[in-house]
Structure 1
């Protein structure tokens, strides 16, 4: 959208013009306390870290937030969040935002611009956006009154999309639970009318267990390179061979480490106990292939059907046993060839294994179809969300009202107010025993829109037709 395409009353602005962005404070481990103010870190905003650290010392008011404040994570996982919780401290890599425009409008606008912010990010390890690139990102700004109308309509559409996405997520979980039950039924020898009696034996009694090749500098692929499967290639019951690295082999190693069709590759260790021991069967397709030392190869003997072994290995009945075997006194979870050899698995007659595999694969066909339907629904929901946000920030979601105060006037007032504002003095307070606060500059108040008659509501069919999942 260029300047000529701006809707009536809109104006170009920089993201930095639309609010004050106050970076959080770094907190050392030595400053953590058992109680006090919870410290909001990025993982607390994204849901990847549920536990909080606490700070009980003196803290600038600018580094605290209250329920309803707007936060922007500008490193690692970029995005905006409305804080819902008690008074808290803000960690570094998060902006506390004092908006000069409608708060929720700014919240959705920044989220809409996340892809541009990610493209502008840099850094090795933890990716982050520089303050200059954040502040200077160009955005189209509607009049303040239209910002409020956009938020009202936008939240109605997004709430329906969120509800649909939640239901898709719940359905996906239910589908996963059904497949886990199928795998357990195979391990129990009772599925689809098949009822078998199975002897429980050690893996070492019916399979050959061996380790893989350690990746080292001397094994950079040069003269005798072969495909090399890593932990990243092994899912639970599936292999991803889109990105397969290569490794240099030395004389005699290919015969020792080469995979055969039907070999089961077992993940040796994982940070998550739920993923320990996940495994997938090698089906061939890349010629001669070897594997990493963090994958354990289980080669089934004549008493085991390879597909049966893969199914029962990923069944909860066996994975629970793997977690117990892998548990260590240090709290880490790792498997070894000796631990894998000691795992006990049910081994019915080979003919019964084949019948159980056939019954399970019928269920798998239905499960795969259901999962693809759910993935398609999730993709469509994401596409609809992008379309709605695009309409919101190009002036196509709600009608313009000629009586609205133009955004250019709003921006001029913001600039004048900022120029007139004395720099805020930092105040400090003790979390446990507040001190008497020093006088500080009054925060810039959000400009109020000029009185305007209520515009006609947006047609109900304007975007609704896109929401039929």
Structure 2
């Protein structure tokens, strides 16, 4: 078994048009799925080598990807023409003696994934790399060809059933997400469960709350003699706080009195790369004394007409989130909020008794949603453990019965090596012929034509030493130089 690696080319960031050559991106290669639309347009098509064009039926892996996806195999189904391997991708060439599906499953097996994880370099989970030599050093336990087919068929059947279960669980998880959005909108509209609330009044934020910006981080504010806890955008999620990493900032004179957060303050994110995250907010719980906030967070302090918990729910509802996106949009393309925009924002404000009833109803609904999500997450974790166990059992030889009538693995290895050597000889002959043709085309007229080409080198004879009794044949992941 051999492989091709792609080349490094200068590309445009845009995807290639149907009549252009493109280079596959690492995002095209994820577990069980090949995404041909994930590509970049090649700048110089004169450098194209059609030998590296991706074809249907190819087995590809990404040599540079996240921890989860580095080395993950994909089988190419339908693919657009003129799509090339990149230097971060690798294509395996499987001979007739290797079952394609068995090979893909074997690369997904726990033992191989552990080997890849151990050899992958890089400290960041966002990108890990594995070299060709390290991939080449990984060995696969090689069963007879007939057993390969049995293993692949059994895994196909078991994993297909597991895929259906996981799909249903994922659908249930999405359903809980939709339920949560409906609960939030129920609070905003005053219609939630059995709560008979009056229709909330539409009020300007500045009428019912005090709005103030935060502190800009500057070099002069490096923590020194008067440092205080300092909340950033990273500390504020939608409806919840993340206080694991709270920085500090230097304050001067009486700034702490001006910027100190009070329990019940709503912290609003003023801008984000995603329009869906603009304006997300969480209520300050007062868990850190004398805490302040950065200027990319806007503090909304509810007045006597607002309960903090009610404001948090209404603010993060789809109804108000849509209004925030509209307020943040601009013709310049930079989408941000400001204290002025928030003061002029209109939000629903129910009567105080109705606010209390709506918050209680939302809390009851949220508790049921959390319990349902926990059951779904437990089911997904159990399914992932089953998948892991199935692959482990399959490649430990315990998923399907072994047949003593199957072709011995030693004979299979002989056939694989013979195929590989024949392919190597063919490639050497092709390279030699190309070099001779180039030499002839560059020769001066007075120079006589070269002598007849010698025959290509004959395949090397391979002797396979019988394995000791009980030892399993292994197959290295070979690469061409």
TM-score, normalised to structure 2's length?
Answer: 0.77
Aligned equivalent of 2:234? 232
Aligned equivalent of 2:267? 265
Query: Aligned pair in 2 of structure 1 residues 290, 393: CA closer, same or farther (>3 Å)?
Result: farther
CA contact (8 A) 2:202 2:348 kept: yes
Q: Which moved more, 1:223-232 or 1:97-106?
A: 223-232
Query: Aligned pair in 2 of structure 1 residues 259, 117: CA closer, same or farther (>3 Å)?
Result: farther
Q: Compute the displacement of 1:364 (Å).
A: 0.9
Aligned equivalent of 2:25? 41
Equivalent-residue separation in structure 1 for 2:63 and 2:26 (angstroms): 9
Aligned equivalent of 1:353? 355
Equivalent-residue separation in structure 2 for 1:335 and 1:31 (angstroms): 30
Q: Compute the displacement of 1:367 (Å).
A: 1.0
Aligned equivalent of 1:248? 249
Aligned equivalent of 1:8? none
Aligned equivalent of 2:45? 57
Q: Compute the displacement of 1:283 (Å).
A: 1.8
CA contact (8 A) 1:208 1:298 kept: yes
Aligned equivalent of 1:184? 185
1:337 has 2:339 as partner: yes
Q: Which moved more, 1:257-266 or 1:144-153?
A: 257-266
Query: Aligned pair in 2 of structure 1 residues 84, 209: CA closer, same or farther (>3 Å)?
Result: farther
Q: Compute the displacement of 1:303 (Å).
A: 1.3
Q: Deviations over 1:433-453 (max 9, x none)?
A: xxxxxxxx9xx9xxxxxxxxx
Q: Deviations over 1:203-241 (max 9, x none)?
A: 122222233344455555555554443333322222233
Q: Compute the displacement of 1:115 (Å).
A: 4.5
CA contact (8 A) 1:63 1:96 kept: no
Equivalent-residue separation in structure 2 for 1:22 and 1:148 (angstroms): 27
Partner of 2:64, secondary structure, is coil
Equivalent-residue separation in structure 1 for 2:38 and 2:419 (angstroms): 40
Aligned counterpart in structure 2 of residue 107 of structure 1, from 104, 107, 117: 104
Correspondence 1:2-401 to 2 at 5 A: 18-29=1-12, 33-36=16-19, 37=21, 39-46=23-30, 52-54=39-41, 57=45, 59-77=48-66, 78=70, 79-86=72-79, 87=81, 88-100=83-95, 101-112=98-109, 113-123=112-122, 126-191=127-192, 192-216=194-218, 219-221=221-223, 224-241=226-243, 243-251=244-252, 252-401=254-403
Equivalent-residue separation in structure 2 for 1:169 and 1:244 (angstroms): 31
Equivalent-residue separation in structure 2 for 1:400 and 1:160 (angstroms): 24
Partner of 1:274, secondary structure, is coil
Equivalent-residue separation in structure 1 for 2:410 and 2:147 (angstroms): 13
Instruction: Give the gaps of 5 or more residues in structure 1.
Output: 1-17, 427-440, 445-469
- Relative contact order (alpha carbons < 8 A, sep ≥ 6): 1 or 2 greater? 1
Q: Compute the displacement of 1:144 (Å).
A: 2.6
Report which of the two structures shows the higher radius of gyration computed on alpha carbons. 2
TM-score, normalised to structure 1's length?
Answer: 0.79
CA contact (8 A) 1:304 1:347 kept: yes
Equivalent-residue separation in structure 2 for 1:122 and 1:66 (angstroms): 29
Q: Compute the displacement of 1:180 (Å).
A: 0.9
Query: Aligned pair in 2 of structure 1 residues 76, 226: CA closer, same or farther (>3 Å)?
Result: farther
Query: Aligned pair in 2 of structure 1 residues 213, 419: CA closer, same or farther (>3 Å)?
Result: farther
Q: Deviations over 1:384-419 (max 9, x none)?
A: 111111111211211222233343443344334434
CA contact (8 A) 1:25 1:63 kept: no
Q: Deviations over 1:334-373 (max 9, x none)?
A: 2222222222101122222111111111111111111111
CA contact (8 A) 2:11 2:41 kept: no
CA contact (8 A) 1:146 1:400 kept: yes
CA RMSD after TM alignment? 2.9
Q: Compute the displacement of 1:322 (Å).
A: 1.0
Partner of 2:400, secondary structure, is coil
Equivalent-residue separation in structure 1 for 2:343 and 2:311 (angstroms): 14
Aligned equivalent of 1:465? none
Correspondence 1:388-467 to 2 at 5 A: 388-420=390-422, 421-422=424-425, 423=427
Equivalent-residue separation in structure 2 for 1:416 and 1:219 (angstroms): 70
CA contact (8 A) 1:19 1:98 kept: yes
Partner of 1:273, secondary structure, is coil
Equivalent-residue separation in structure 2 for 1:50 and 1:341 (angstroms): 44
CA contact (8 A) 1:229 1:244 kept: no
CA contact (8 A) 2:15 2:22 kept: no
Query: Aligned pair in 2 of structure 1 residues 293, 170: CA closer, same or farther (>3 Å)?
Result: same
Partner of 1:312, secondary structure, is helix
Equivalent-residue separation in structure 1 for 2:7 and 2:37 (angstroms): 19
Partner of 2:5, secondary structure, is strand
Equivalent-residue separation in structure 2 for 1:156 and 1:330 (angstroms): 54
Query: Aligned pair in 2 of structure 1 residues 22, 181: CA closer, same or farther (>3 Å)?
Result: same
Q: Compute the displacement of 1:175 (Å).
A: 1.3
Equivalent-residue separation in structure 2 for 1:376 and 1:359 (angstroms): 26
